[in-house]
Chain A
Amino acid sequence: MSTTLAPRLKWDLRLFASAAALTLIGAMAMASAGTTVHPTLAVRHAIWIGIGVAACVGIARTDAHRWMDLAAVAYGVSLALLGLVSVAGAMRLGATRWLSVSGLSLQPSEAAKLATTLLLARYLAGQPNPLPMRAVWISLALAGAPALLVFRQPDLGSATVFGAIWLGMAWVGGLSRRAVAGVAGGLLALVPLGWVLLRDYQRDRLLAFVNPHADPLGAGFSVIQSTIAIGAGQWWGRGWWAGTQTHLRFLPERHSDFIFSVIGEEWGFLGGVAVIGLLGVLLLRILRLALRVSTPEWRGVAVGIFCWVAYQAVINLGMVTGLLPVVGVPLPLVSYGGSSMVTLWIALGMLQSVHRTSLE
């Protein structure tokens, strides 16, 4: 049996094992931290995982060519949804990021990340190497449109994810070194303008990064409490359900952006190494896939998903350990967030589909 099925359902075991392990660790942390946020939060998290994994398995069985054709449609739909959010979105945390559909909240920016990746992969695959300037501008515009809508929500962290996806894909797609330098210079020039456009709380967070102890009960509170939580975990952690920073609610956003601090506090260095190590394995497997697939289009998809997961992971870990400013990016597969969880598992399903289609 296994020999006959093997070519059709050949899963990249290490990739899915690491993704599953990360998701499991996240679910365990959610079981502990989630109850301090909402009684049913952990259950909802588990349901989203179920939906995500089911979608992943379903998509993994499809032909990769089929939904590459849908890239433009998916991109258009997600742009429209982002536009809708800015018009009719529900107000939450002072930021409008969710779309409520009959009681379910959807965050279209997550879907937009995947759609943008697909469309960029499609577009860049048809371009010569090195990329001509026209293609650079067009691809930048494709990534920039959803990024701008997300930035206006305002969600600075998610907006920068589009930039990271674009930069990685364009780089692999043949972006000249001169163009890289140009983009880097242009971004630097935008910093003062960006500062003006930022909301007050965003500025406070960036300033708090420079010196968190200037306002220990205000903007610096999150980072201080997060580093205390992680550090207090020491080698083996304080035990599942026994993190005082988590359960006495000193740790803010402990179910979403600061979930790694919960793991660090309750599972110690052991948990930290596990999360970082599993992320490393997952990312390596995605890159390995990028090198093995047969078309530049599919390589682009793998690189885009790599950049998306890698960027969010590094920014999130850097932020909760006090190395980077607090910009509000969830830890992929671990943080709470239905849209993010489902979209990431769909992306993993696509990778498997690409993997399988390439082999056929």
Chain B
Amino acid sequence: MENRVRWLRLLVGIALTVVLLRVAQLQLIRGSAYRLLAERNRLRLVPEQAPRGPILDRHGRVLATTQTVFRVALIPQELEDLPSVLAHVGSVVHAPVDGLQRELERQPAPAFLPVTLVNRVPKEVAFRLEEERWRWPGLLVQADAIRHYPRGSCAAHLLGYVGQPTAEELQWLKAYGIPPRSLVGRVGLEQWLDAVLRGRDGGWMVEVNHRSRRVRVIGQRRPEAGARVVLTIDAQLQSTIEQAFGTQPGAAAVLDPRTGEVLALVSAPAFSPESFATLDTQAIRRILSDPGSPLMNRATAAAYQPGSIVKLVTAAAGLEHRLMAPATAISCAGSTTIGDRAFHCWKRDGHGPLTMPEALAHSCNVYFMQVGRSLGASRLRAALAQAGFARSTGWPLPERAGHLPERRLTEGEVALLAIGQGEIEVTVMAEAAMGGAIANGGRLMEPWVVRTVAGRPAGRPVSRGQLGWSRETIAAVRAGMVEAVRHPSGTAHRALSPDLGIAGKTGTAQTHVPGRNHGWFVGFCPVEQPRVAMAIVAEFGGSGGELPAQIGRLICESVGS
């Protein structure tokens, strides 16, 4: 009997020892890990997004801003009566209950996080739901800040858009303390100025109880709003040009020739940057699969064969090398023979004898092929490079440099290069900069677009180089450009505006598609003390004397008025 009592004692002794060892293991060996788990249980970091800074045009018109939208969500663990909550939400937002049910089932339900029920509801609906929220436990109306572009697709390529960071970006964003929910600038200014537009996110350190209800606030860091960015863009001008393109693909760059400020930068077709900000997957898919490549910025990222606008450089180089004087007449018989091949002028029966300004005004091929032959490949190439061909303009966003042939050219190829045909490509931005240089007396200004960031000047005129043309040469080229617009049979006559002095040169570049040419217009206005310079291309848009010249006139009228 006594033995059996001792057995009981031993048994219980062993059991209590095991428990004691277990407690020692939990508290002494793994204690710090469990302490951490307990802290994580009670502490939550609630991020508070800094509102992204607005982007304004030069006159203070809003191009991009941050807008509050409302979202209806559910907190699963606080729900008491799901069917009646769904019925209530359905009746307020006018949505079928089974649709809401499906939306709920579609989403994974992470613990203690609200599940989105309706993505965007109008403010009035949000307020109505919020007022009666106490009657529906588990219902939540959340306010989100999203990127809003009040002018739609206006200046879309320049502005770019914001989107969710990729898994790869998340890695390095985390190192900068950026919470995964925030949107990052993807392309354009949104990307380039992301750091200043973003501001600094704040957050709350809160203690929560077992139902994730806030018990008290332990710490808070206020978010710092993103900087306000003012551009050199004129939104009115930008919209006017965009409308003028209509369905025609193409691009336009408009600068102030005195400073290099970009007044408008158009690429058509455009897209709606807001589709990316609101994660409208259908719209995004439509944009990405559009054969017209609306995302491509045709003003800076695409290079086109220039055609006759090269004649401005050929003319200047001829004058600089004293191959002719402005008044020297060269006769066009409709064609010229180089080697054993005949090269035709666009006017088959010939222009007859032409001075240099007349040749520019009528864009005579024979005249400039002759000048090009006399110049030779290296002098012509040097003159083109000097004028900014195949060089970056200094534009701060991604830009193509264009192209000039570097191999040995035959005499015929040199003659074609002198009229802008063959192996030569250039961006609209580079041509606008060249137009600006002709307008301002020879300085190639770097194009820039950010005027102020948070009220502080962020850009200033920078000269990137000189055309290297004498005053007389520039005067002669300008005379040709004035004549091209003024003369009734000038190629740029459609740019003529009765009260404005407009100078311009058209180009029509043959493409690989027969009969479908790229049309160009390069010009400036007014002729005396120019305030605006521009380059316009219409992709497969026919002659430069048609739509591009008309858009040129529109720009001048818009700025002149």
Measuring CB to CB, which residues of chain A are less than 8 angstroms from any residue of chain B? Answer: 129, 168, 171-172, 174, 217, 225, 227-235, 244-245, 248-250, 264-265, 268-269, 272-273, 276, 279-280, 283-284, 287, 290-291, 299, 303, 306-307, 310, 313-314, 317-318, 321-323
Contacts and interface: CB of A to CB of B under 8 A. Distances in A.
B94 interface: no
A230 B209 contact: no
Contacts of B23: 230, 264, 269, 272-273, 276, 317, 321
Given A172-B1, A248-B210, A323 B22 contact: yes
A188 B545 CA distance: 100
Interface in B109-124: 111
B12 A272 contact: no
B34 A227 contact: yes
Given A244-B41, A318-B19, 4 more contacts: A168-B8, A231-B33, A321-B22, A323-B18
A171 B12 CA distance: 14
Interface string B23-34: 110111011111
B30 A231 contact: yes
B31 A233 contact: yes
A306 B8 CA distance: 9
B1 A231 contact: no
A249 B211 CA distance: 8
Nearest to A217: B111
Contacts of A129: 1
Nearest to A230: B26
Interface in B9-65: 9, 12-13, 15-16, 18-20, 22-24, 26-28, 30-35, 37-39, 41-42
A280 B37 CA distance: 31
B409 to A, nearest CB: 75
A322 B1 CA distance: 34
A334 to B, nearest CB: 14
A130 to B, nearest CB: 11
A174 B111 CA distance: 55
Question: What is the interface of chain A mostly: helix, strand, loop, or mixed?
Answer: helix
A55 B244 CA distance: 100
Contacts of B20: 272-273, 276
A125 to B, nearest CB: 12
Contacts of B7: 171
Interface residues of B, number: 38
B18 A272 contact: no
B27 A172 contact: no
Contacts of B41: 225, 228, 244-245, 248, 250
Contact of A228 (B2, B8, B32, B38): B38
A232 B208 contact: no
A287 B5 contact: yes
B207 interface: yes
Contact of A245 (B4, B18, B38, B207): B38
7 contacts: A168-B8, A231-B34, A232-B37, A249-B210, A280-B16, A283-B16, A314-B16
Nearest to A318: B19
B215 interface: yes
A268 B27 contact: yes
Contacts of A272: 20, 23-24, 27
A127 B543 CA distance: 122
A303 B5 contact: yes
Contacts of B9: 283-284, 287
A314 B12 contact: yes
A231 B27 contact: yes
A279 B27 CA distance: 19
Given A280-B13, A303-B8, A321-B19, A229 B28 contact: no
B19 A276 contact: yes
Interface string B209-241: 111000100000000000000000000000000
A245 B5 CA distance: 40
B4 to A, nearest CB: 5
A171 B38 contact: no
Contact of B2 (A250, A264, A291, A323): A291
Contacts of A233: 27, 31
A244 B26 contact: no
B38 A279 contact: no
Contact of B16 (A231, A249, A276): A276
A264 B210 contact: no
B209 A248 contact: yes
A171 B32 contact: no
Contacts of B15: 310, 314, 318
Contacts of B5: 172, 287, 290-291, 303
Contacts of A171: 4, 7-8
A232 B41 CA distance: 11
A270 to B, nearest CB: 9
Interface string B275-297: 00000000000000000000000
Contacts of B32: 234
Nearest to B1: A172
B41 to A, nearest CB: 5
A307 B210 contact: no
B28 A248 contact: no
Given A272-B27, A306-B8, A317 B19 contact: yes
B374 to A, nearest CB: 86
A231 B31 contact: yes
B8 A248 contact: no
Contacts of A276: 16, 19-20, 23
Contacts of B30: 231
Contacts of A174: 1
Nearest to B43: A244
Contacts of A230: 23, 26-27, 34
B8 A172 contact: yes
A244 B8 contact: no
Nearest to B12: A310
Given A249-B209, A306-B8, A227 B26 contact: yes
Nearest to A317: B19
A244 B42 CA distance: 7
A297 B98 CA distance: 70
Nearest to B38: A232
A32 to B, nearest CB: 16
**Which of B23, B28, B39 is the most central at the interface, judged by chain A CB atoms within 10 Å of its CB?**
B23
Contacts of B38: 228-229, 231-232, 244-245, 250, 265
Contacts of B24: 269, 272
Contacts of A280: 13, 16
A272 B23 CA distance: 7
Query: Can you list the 10 inter-chain pairs with the closest CB atoms, starting with the nearest?
Result: A231-B34, A234-B31, A232-B38, A231-B26, A272-B23, A248-B209, A317-B19, A314-B15, A249-B210, A232-B35
Nearest to A248: B209
Nearest to B2: A291
A228 B1 contact: no
B4 A172 contact: yes
Contacts of B34: 227-228, 230-232
